[in-house]
Amino acid sequence: MNHALEPAVAAIRCEGLCQDLGGQRVLQGIDLAVAKGEVVSVLGPSGSGKSTLLRCLNWLAPPTAGRVWLGNEEVGVKPDRHGRQRPLADAAVRAQRSRIGMVFQSFNLWPHMTALENVMEGLLSVKRLARAEAHERAAAALREVGLGHKLDSHPARLSGGQQQRVAIARTIAMQPEVILFDEPTSALDPELVGEVLGVMRELALRHTTMIVVTHEIAFADGVCDRVVFMDQGRIVEQGPPAQVLRAPQQERTQRFLGRFA
């Protein structure tokens, strides 16, 4: 367990994060710091801003207001020589974003590529590795998620659980500093959820820094160091899983968790 929230050691951190979408403020000032090796789950009702938070953290959708740091480096902006914050050049933002992994509900694999080629793609185009090295690293990542025997399979020949494991392999092969998961098992048939959660549990045991948006309460309880509960664009409550899940203090958390009781 690791509840250290010292900003100096945070793998990723945000302050006052706000996002306006469709004329609405859907993130209302989020402060969050995730320590290196910490595994945080984010729970909350549909529409509470969980996906928006992840998209702001990795600058997929730059926030309307607020700041994000990856380690000690601020994401997306840089002070000019007068100390004023200026937007970073696109290439610099891309370089920062490549240090943050993201796993979506929809696996987003290339259908015309094999599992191996899907995992190699970012290693070749973003990391600019030599082909042999990319091949080796991609194969190792696929073995890590239990798919060493499926390197040459195309996505259509894989189950949903296997496809999501390829997507996770693609992410870990890039060796990001933090991985953001947005409901990674929500699109899966129930019997395939366990194999994906099993891979994520392995990553957590190896102290991968992770933020996991999920409705899998047992995963949040058994694997995560901290549970963050969001509602209406705000963090309503957070703490160790035992506290937030079994003795929630806030009425909105109690009401939400009541659905799973």
β-strands 77-79, 226-231 pairing = unpaired
Residue 214 binds to Mg ion (criterion: CB under 5 A): no
Question: Minimal distance in Å, beta carbon 29 to Mg ion?
Answer: 19
Q: Which is nearer to ligand ADP, 48 or 208 (CB)?
A: 48
Q: Which residue is nearest to Mg ion (CB)?
A: 51
Question: Minimal distance in Å, beta carbon 53 to ligand ADP?
Answer: 7
Residue 49 interacts with which of ligand ADP, Mg ion, none, CB < 5 to 8 Å by class: ligand ADP
Q: Which is nearer to Mg ion, 51 or 114 (CB)?
A: 51
Q: How far apart are CA 66 and CA 166, in angstroms?
A: 33
Per DSSP (E only), the strands in the chain are 10-21, 24-35, 39-43, 65-70, 73-74, 77-79, 85-87, 100-103, 178-182, 210-213, 226-231, 234-239
Q: Which is nearer to ligand ADP, 105 or 153 (CB)?
A: 105
Of the candidates 51, 96, 118, 238, which one interacts with Mg ion according to CB under 5 A? 51
Please name which of 11, 13, 18 lies closest in space to residue 66, comparing C-alpha atoms. Answer: 18
First to last CA, the chain: 25
Q: Which two tokens stand for residue 182?
A: 């947005």
Q: How far apart are CA 70 and CA 83, in angstroms?
A: 20
Residue 171 binds to Mg ion (criterion: CB under 5 A): no
Stretch of 23-31, 47-55, 140-148, 243-251 contacting Mg ion, by CB under 5 A: 47-55
Q: Which is nearer to Mg ion, 39 or 42 (CB)?
A: 42
Q: Which residues bind Mg ion (CB under 5 A)?
A: 50-51
